[in-house]
Structure 1
Amino acid sequence: MATSAPTRDSVLTRAVRIFDTFTPDDPVLTVSEIARRSGLHLATASRLVAELVEHGLLARDDDRRVRMGVRMWELALRASPALTLRDTAMPFLEDAHYVVKHHVQLGVLDGTEVIFLERLSAPGAVINYTRIAGRLPLHVSSSGLVLLAFGGPALQEHVLSGPLPAYTDNTITTPARLRAELAEVRKQGFAWCPGYVHPDALGIAVPVRGARGAVVAAVSAIVPNHPDNRAVIGVLTAAARGIGRSLTGPPLTH
């Protein structure tokens, strides 16, 4: 049974906990499921859900189940740094996708994860677990390794000292291997991740640099796991350079 939230939690904190219960795999939930996932008492969750529905941040289906509201989508579109980066990158992502044919993605750093702002795919493309607004740990994906390699020492040590869960037998799971991989990424300027997330998929990523030279994002491709796909590196590098030249203003920070 879910327990009531500690009294030190503000209403805003409890609302955020409710929003966090929704995932790409579970976009629609009952109030009871929301209460259980958020750790809120059922009566508290029910009251907050009703208020959020009233403000349009959540919505109810005909069967009374709850989903994100249209107003939440509207507010999310005002997240100007991510929106500006995504809009700037789109023409270059589309050009790269035309050549790659499988998946091309744009990811940024958020805490100790990479969050994907955009993903272009094709029918029959190789399996890919990422999705728009989806997240992956930094040590798992090619985009994450690029962002970690060019991130600050504090971030790197934090990730190196934490758990490194495996997705496949090829996933990096030891600090020594991860440290060596990050050094290689910095040296060669790209991440090459054969089978790190799925045995059949190869992740390749390159950094996107802003006006001051700081890495603000990663452009990646997910293609079949075959060494002949090294030509994709050049395609991604050209896209990343185009995005970087088009960016204006200070680099994004997280």
Structure 2
Amino acid sequence: MDKPLKTPPPYPIASVDHALRAATILQMEGGATVSQIAERLGVARSTAHRILAMLVYRDFAVQDEDRLYRAGPVLELAAHSQSLVSRLRTAALPHLHRVVDLLDETANLTVRTGDTARFIASVECRQALRVGSREGMVFPAHRTTGGLLLLAGLSDEELDEVYAAERYRDRPADRPDLARLRAELKKLRRNGFAVNKERSERGLIAVGVPVRDRDGTALAGLSVSMPGVRYDPHRLQSLVTALSAAARALEDDLAEQH
């Protein structure tokens, strides 16, 4: 049976339509220049530039060293792992709620795309002073607990590719010190958990563990975030134990879905 023709909305918004079409082009066709987007949309080059700048700002696009625009973290997640991310989030939420009930701190699940980490699920605790939900937010991977856990699963060659100098030609200050990062990731792999002290936000401390697939590949980072004034180093082991139990239970649920 043929699908019915789509009827345009009665009050179309041209700017929204242009942005959505541009995002679709980047996701489906791999990339485009400002001139190509302008030609495809039938708009002025200056208009195309503003559209792409907004897509970059909202992480729907990135601009590489050749000034070509490509799909950004949001679209990459949808392109290569939409079903996995959706499955991860759905399976994780009950476990995040149990972690919050047990520890009374905000719990998060994070995935990585390139050099960024995205919070795909977040459950706030009930304390008056608490870390708010970060669901949907994107941060540099090396500044988040989950991002560090997932970077730790990369080989030296893969890490070099993620942080290749040419990718940071226009923003060298954003590129981490790789020697220091490698040393930190080595320690993280040895410990099996990550502690993040104010790397993404002042006054915030987070502790996390990886969530792995059946073959041992790290799929996500499971963490709790809390105000620094409430963090007690003597409590670290109990935090890690609770998070590890939740991660193993989540892994079992994911394995049963295969």
| TM-score normalised by L of structure 2 | 0.62
Alignment of 1:1-254 (within 5 A): 12-13=25-26, 36-38=50-52, 79-123=82-126, 124-127=128-131, 131-162=134-165, 165=173, 173-225=176-228, 226=231, 227-230=233-236, 231-248=238-255
Structure 1 Cα separation of the partners of residues 24 and 194 of structure 2: 42
Residue 68 (structure 2) aligns with: none
Deviations 1:147-200 (A, max 9, x none): 00012433311345446857xxxxx94222211100011000011111112231
Aligned partner of residue 196 in structure 2, secondary structure: strand
Task: List alignment gaps of at least 5 residues for structure 2.
Answer: 1-17, 32-45, 55-77
How many corresponding residue pairs? 189
Query: 2-side partners of 1:211 and 1:92: how far apart?
Result: 18
* Aligned match of 1:46: none
Note if contact 1:101-1:125 (Cα within 8 Å) is conserved in structure 2: no
Distance 2:23 2:137 in 1: 27
Task: List alignment gaps of at least 5 residues for structure 1.
Answer: 18-31, 41-74, 167-171
For the Cα contact (< 8 Å) 1:116–1:132, is it kept in 2? yes
Once the two structures are TM-superposed, the CA of residue 106 in structure 1 deviates from its matched residue by 0.6
- For 2:43, the equivalent position in structure 1 comes to none
Tell me how far 1:206 sits from its aligned partner: 0.5
> Counterpart of 1:58?
none
Between stretches 223-232 and 110-119, larger displacement belongs to 223-232
Change (3 A) 1:152 1:175: closer
Q: Distance in 2 between matches of 1:14 and 1:240?
A: 32
Q: Using the alignment, how far apart are the partners of 1:137 and 1:165 within structure 2?
A: 12
Q: 1:98 to 1:10 in 2, by over 3 A?
A: closer
Shift in Å at residue 115 of structure 1?
1.4
Normalising by structure 1, we get a TM-score of: 0.63
Give the Å deviation of 1:127.
3.9
Task: Indicate conservation of the 8 Å contact 2:115/2:163, yes or no.
Answer: no
Report the Cα offset of residue 39 of structure 1: 5.4
Whether the aligned pair in 2 keeps the contact of 1:102 and 1:125 (CA below 8 Å) is: no
Distance 1:126 1:82, change over 3 A: same
Question: Which one-letter code corresponds to 1:233 in the other structure?
Answer: V
Q: If each structure's helix is expressed as a fraction of its own residues, which one has the higher value?
A: 2
Q: Percent identity?
A: 25
Once the two structures are TM-superposed, the CA of residue 248 in structure 1 deviates from its matched residue by 2.7
